[in-house]
Structure 1
Amino acid sequence: MDVRVQGNAIASPFLSAVDVFETEYDLEKPVKVHVREDPDERTWAAHYPTHHTLNISATAATSAMARELALHEFSHMARYEQGHPSHLQSTEEALFLALAGESVERHKLAHCYQIANHMKDIYADDITLDLAPADKLVSFLESRLAAAVADRPTAPPRPGSRLATAGSDPEITAVNAAFALALVERHDLVSREHRLYDLARVAESDAPSIDVRAFKRRFRTLGPDPSESGYRKALVDATRAYAADRGA
């Protein structure tokens, strides 16, 4: 597995992630790591004919989560190389199918992309959590959800965020809570007394129009090996459940 860290970034977290990843998986294409001077704690993967790119903010690259974030993005790359429907399905196509004839506010459309990202994350984390302990991930989910429910929104989330922060409105925060619960239940990571459940109840109370249990079920029960049409239907249905007949 060929990983090249570009610039002056510290390479050790990424090389450590490679060591963990290679115990069970490999990538055919090389990976170029770009550390960006971005104040947000964001990571995202991009795929090209000759290589993958791991984009990561400088803040994230120097955080305690750097190795785990890199491992998560390697898992996205693996899903892409596997030809998994979750990573080949065009989000734009699915949203067009789901929202044809609907009038949807721009920020809600951004939320639909966030939901599509969550569905991809479920499949990437099926790999990630097969390789590494979940303690840091659970703490990360808890802290991000706590931040989101503590403050009122100022702007919609930026693409690439694993969970929305205080910049998200209560409705997408409730969906994000459903995602967090779905992930920990899918992998049996915490008990029902965990603080995530308390935070999810607060998020749900702030957004009574969102059925948190229904969204949790959608994320948690995604089949491991869906057909292209089956995955497309799941994404279309999730989009409609959030946005259809709710736009301005």
Structure 2
Amino acid sequence: MDVRVQTVGPTEPFLSARDLFQTEYDLDRPVEVHVREDPDERTWTSHDDDHHILNISRQAATSAMARELALHEYAHMHRNEQGHPSHTQSTEEVLYLALSGRSVERRKLTHCYQIANHMKDIYADDITLSVAPADKLVAFLESGLAIALADRPVDPATWTRRTPASDPEITAVNAAFALALVERHDLVGRDHRLYDLAHAAAQDAPSIRFETFKRHFRTLARDPGESEYRKTLVDVTREYAIDSGQAAD
């Protein structure tokens, strides 16, 4: 597995993640790592025919989570090379299938992309959690949810949204994702603080069927076919963009 850091910055987290990843998996194509100055984008990956590109902000590359973030992105690259449906299915196609003829708020469309990314992350973390300890990931999920809850509106009717993470509805879905991931891999006990945070997020968004989303994420088939995965993503998209609004009515 060939990992090349192309810009000035730390190399150890990426090489350490490579060594850990290689204990169980490998990549056929080399990885180019680019450390970026933009702190607003933590990590993002692209795939070419002859190599993968891992972009990571300098802030993330020098953080305590750097190795774990790199490992997570290597897992996405592996799913891409596998041709796994979660990483080959067009989100735009699913939105068309799920929402054709419907009028949907722009913010909800944006959130649907985030939900599709959650499903990709489930499959990436099935790999990540098979080779690395879960402690930092659980702490990362807990911290992210706590921050989103602290940023939620005091008066939703007059609140001006600042970021998607601050929206109570997508925060509830994010909380469902976090619990689904830890339950899928039996990472924490039911007395963990993550459950209290998730309960608060669900209370803030009564239109969201929290348990339904958690079940969708937790029970994703380990090795789905293309049509099975497409149907699942269509169902989750409709649940959020259409059915949650009807529940509110």
Classify the TM-score, shorter chain.
over 0.9
* 1:40, distance to aligned residue in structure 2 (A): 2.2
What RMSD over aligned residues (CA atoms) do the two structures have, in Å?
1.2
Q: Which has the higher helix share?
A: 2
CA distance in 2, matches of 1:79, 1:14: 18
- Counterpart CA distance in 2 for 1:103 and 1:42 is 32
Give the drift of 1:12. 0.4
Between the two proteins, the alignment pairs up a number of residues equal to 238
2:32 corresponds in structure 1 to: 32
Match of 1:58 in 2: 58
In structure 1, how many angstroms separate the alpha carbons of the residues matched to 2:67 and 2:187?
Answer: 19
Name the residue aligned to 2:219: 221
1:138 aligned residue: 138
Residue of structure 1 equivalent to 2:191: 193
Q: Compute the displacement of 1:152 (Å).
A: 2.5
Identity %: 74
Structure 2 residue matching 1:53: 3-state secondary structure: strand
- Give me the TM-score of the superposition, normalised by structure 2: 0.93
Write the letter of the residue equivalent to 2:70: A
Deviations 1:53-73 (A, max 9, x none): 111111111100000000000
8 Å contact kept, 1:110–1:156: no
What SS does the corresponding residue of 1:45 show, helix, strand or coil? strand
Task: Give the AA of the match of 1:241.
Answer: E
- Structure-1 separation of matches of 2:75 and 2:210: 27
Unaligned runs of 5+ in 1: 158-163
1:78-93 alignment runs, 5 A limit: 78-93=78-93
TM superposition shift of 1:155: 2.9
Q: Output the CA distance in 1 between the equivalents of 2:210 and 2:46.
A: 30
Report the Cα distance in structure 1 between the residues aligned to 2:25 and 2:4, rounded to whole angstroms.
18
Question: What are the within-5 Å matches in structure 2 for residues 144-183 of structure 1?
Answer: 144-152=144-152, 154-157=161-164, 164=165, 168-183=166-181
Q: Deviations over 1:103-141 (max 9, x none)?
A: 111111110000000000000000000000000000000
Structure 2 gaps, min length 5: 154-160
| 2:145 alignment partner, SS class | helix
| Deviation of 1:41 (Å) | 5.5
How far, CA to CA, are the matches of 2:92 and 2:226 in structure 1? 15
In the alignment, residue 176 of structure 1 is paired with which amino acid? Answer: N
Aligned residue identity for 2:3 = V
SS class of match (1:183): helix
**Matched residue type, 2:135:** D
